[in-house]
Amino acid sequence: MYSSPRSAHQTPTSPRRDANRSERIGAAIMPASHQERDLAMPELPEVETVVRYLQPLLLGRRVVSVRAARQRLRSPIPRNALRLLIGQTFTAVRRRGKWIVLTLQQHCLLVHLGMTGRLQVLHADTPLARHCHLVCWLAPEPRQLRYTDARRFGAIHVLPPAEAERFLERQLGPEPFCLSAVALHHRLQATARPLKVALLDQRLLAGLGNIYADESLYQAGLFPKRAANTLSLCEAGRLVNAIRTVLHRAIACQGSSIRDYLFGENGRGSYQEEFLVYGRDQQPCRRCSQPIQRCRLAGRSTYFCPRCQPQKPTTR
């Protein structure tokens, strides 16, 4: 299962290139009507939930040994660099976009969960699960930090703190909770892409994915196919408020467990029970009873209410 190390400092690759690939793989094995729901990727609320689970279990713990599996994830696992973590203590655990940032004394361990990735802290005697790609032995307690990923769309990087920050800043736009209506409006003015597609761009806004983009656009009453640069400042303000409301509620529910997402020792989120549009094709809108519609945007299933999210002209 485990192999000899590779080069310690490999250039990280972007997390954005695997979405279409993952969807093609899923198309071969899942019914089309459920394909997008079943392949839902952990988004900001799910990653934030994992971070909050990890914080009390990792802070102050020291890495005493590391092993990485032979199989690569979206990019090769940096085995030599992982060995640099031995002897270092975890000093911070945080989220940036959909990335988990584990800060040690001299390096940062960056983890992207991809479609099916899980980070767990388990007792060392716990049997090793299938598809386990990374094990870090911790001290003083006999525990292990483990990363498992059945589909292997996740990513692991080990970088010095300054380099890790530069990597994240290159990949990601601002956090939704730090963005004003004016700032979002300014960013949307720069693109004529459909609004839903723009919101999925991690360089425009970090953390949103298919689920929470749909739910936020519904809450804001905005048509997902509308050109992003046609939004008024007032509409951008509605959208910012909707995004924050949806994300805060989803975090309180510990995310959405549709199929693969679990946290800790099989903890499940519950926000999927509150979806207003996502995955509800042809079901009645909870506000107006109009059937929810489904369309495809940038290869993704998109759900909306044609009455609550009326189509607007794409020109001013």
* Catalytic positions, written as ranges: 42-43, 98, 300
User: Which residue type sits at 158?
Assistant: V
The 10s digit of each residue's pLDDT in 225-272 is 999 999 999 999 999 999 999 999 999 999 998 776 777 777 788 899
Residues 6 or more apart in contact with residue 70 via CB below 8 angstroms: 1, 2, 3
Contacts 24+ apart (CB under 8 A), 80-85: 80/5, 80/6, 80/7, 80/8, 80/9, 81/8, 81/9, 81/10, 81/107, 81/157, 81/158, 81/159, 82/109, 82/134, 82/136, 82/156, 82/158, 83/5, 83/8, 84/8, 84/158, 85/109, 85/136, 85/158
Q: Which residue has the tokens 């049997």?
A: 127
Tokens representing 110?
């960056």
Token readout for 93 is: 């655990």
The share of the chain scoring above pLDDT 90, in percent, equals 74
Q: What is residue 14's predicted lDDT score, i.e. its pLDDT?
A: 43
Mean of all residue pLDDT scores within the chain: 87
What does the pLDDT read at residue 221? 98
Give pTM, 2 decimals: 0.85
Cα 7 to chain center, whole Å? 27
| Percent above pLDDT 70 for the chain | 86
Which tops the pLDDT comparison, 41 or 61?
Answer: 61
Confidence of residue 21 (pLDDT cuts 50, 70, 90): very low
Q: For residue 27, what pLDDT band results from cuts at 50, 70 and 90?
A: very low
Tokens read off for 88: 């270092």
- Read off the pLDDT band of 3 (50, 70, 90): very low
Angstrom distance (rounded) from CA 281 to CA 66: 46
Name the residue type at position 249. R
Q: What is the rounded average pLDDT of the residues 94-101?
A: 98
User: Which pLDDT belongs to residue 259?
Assistant: 72
- Residues 276, 285: Cα–Cα separation, whole Å: 7
Q: Is the dihedral of CA 79, 85, 90, 95 positive or negative?
A: negative
Q: What is the Cα–Cα distance from 2 to 155, expressed in whole angstroms?
A: 17
Q: Give me the pLDDT at residue 75, please.
A: 86
Query: Per-residue pLDDT for 163 more than 50?
Result: yes
Structural domains in the chain, CATH included, are: 15-171 (3.20.190.10), 176-304 (1.10.8.50)
Is residue 282 over pLDDT 90? yes
pLDDT over 90 at 38, yes or no:
no
* Residue 38 or 95, more confident: 95
Contacts (Cβ under 8 Å, ≥6 apart) of 27? 35
Q: What is the pLDDT of residue 39?
A: 61
Residue 62 · residue 78 · CB < 8 Å: no
pLDDT one-digit tens code per residue, 42-61: 999 999 999 999 999 999 99
Output the DSSP codes for 225-239.
Answer: TSBGGG--HHHHHHH
